[in-house]
Amino acid sequence: MTALVRWLQHNPEGIVVLLAVAAVGGVQFFRLQRRRRLMEDMPTARIRSAAQGYVELIGQALPPDVPLRAPLTGSLCAWYRFRVERCKGEGGNSGWEVEQQGVSDAQFWLDDGSGRCIVDPEGAEVRARDKRTWVGAAPQFVPESPGAALWSGDAEHRYTEELILPGDRLYALGQFESLDPLQASPQDDLRERVIALKTDPRQRAAFDTNRDGELDAAEFAQLRADAKAQVEQARREQAARPQTHVLRKPTGRRIFLLSTLPPDGLSGTLRRQAWAWLAAGLVALGLLAAVVSGR
């Protein structure tokens, strides 16, 4: 410790690092504690009866309507994040440099037994239980040949893949919205339907009873009456459909969290991380105090 203090007294850049660690440690402590308390205090809503706004949901992750496969292993999933790193340097100077990374933005489903909602993962903080990291060759699924696999990869690369798998128990905090199937007004629907009938030559000809190439007042009135009947029928069918629910990133600074870790375990992880950051900040402050007092 004494040697470190002496080194810091002669290296101002070290003091800058300590200041940064102390500041970040304090900020991270309060941020993670606030997040933990939010999770513990937020009641779990049910999709069928959830209020519009910021909610907590717990249910089963279901895959997107279009099958989604993870890029590295080809696993069928609801969401993925991957990273490919290359080993740079040798011996004590070696390290990993990111060559490629990505995250899926496909919308998938959350089912809690009372209903389903679409999860739009864009902008989410995702904590996935299914996380694999390996170096060297790994089996890659071949979609065209069920049960077959190719071994891909080499010892110079490190691969990391995180997945939300279909059937995983998913904890979610985000903005819940229910979309009305009848979003347009009846007047707008009628106007668009009339325009569609008038501009379609075949449909227009069906109302031109005197075959003069024009729609007189009576013919246009019939066209509008048919358009109105079609719109009313379409809106009745739309009104009978269930609402579409969506969970997405909230506006402002509220967290959008998706996690397949057990909620209690995630809360404990956040608590440990918060205290670890506080400890790092206090150690940095202690070293700064020792440097200042030794001058």
Determine, yes or no, domain membership for 283. yes
Per the prediction, the chain carries an average pLDDT of 79
Determine, yes or no, domain membership for 59. no
Sequence-separated (6 or more) residues with CB below 8 Å from residue 103: 79, 80, 81, 82, 121, 126
Determine, yes or no, domain membership for 282. yes
Nearest to 203 by CA among 218, 212, 193: 193
Percent pLDDT > 90 in the chain is: 26
Q: For the residues 166-172, what does the mean pLDDT come to?
A: 94
Structurally, the chain folds into a number of domains equal to 2
Q: For the residues 88-116, what does the mean pLDDT come to?
A: 86
Determine, yes or no, domain membership for 226. yes
Determine, yes or no, domain membership for 172. no
Lowest mean pLDDT among 41-55, 103-117, 179-193: 179-193
Determine, yes or no, domain membership for 148. no
Domain that holds residue 37: 1-41+271-287
Determine, yes or no, domain membership for 19. yes
pTM, 2 dp: 0.63
Alpha-carbon Rg of the chain, whole angstroms?
A: 29
Residue 77 pLDDT: 94
Cβ atoms of residues 117 and 245 within 8 Å: yes
Residue that wins the pLDDT comparison between 105 and 150: 105
Q: For the residues 197-217, what does the mean pLDDT come to?
A: 82
Determine, yes or no, domain membership for 220. yes
Beta pairing partners, 4: none
State the Cα torsion 194-199-204-210 to the nearest 10°. Answer: 110
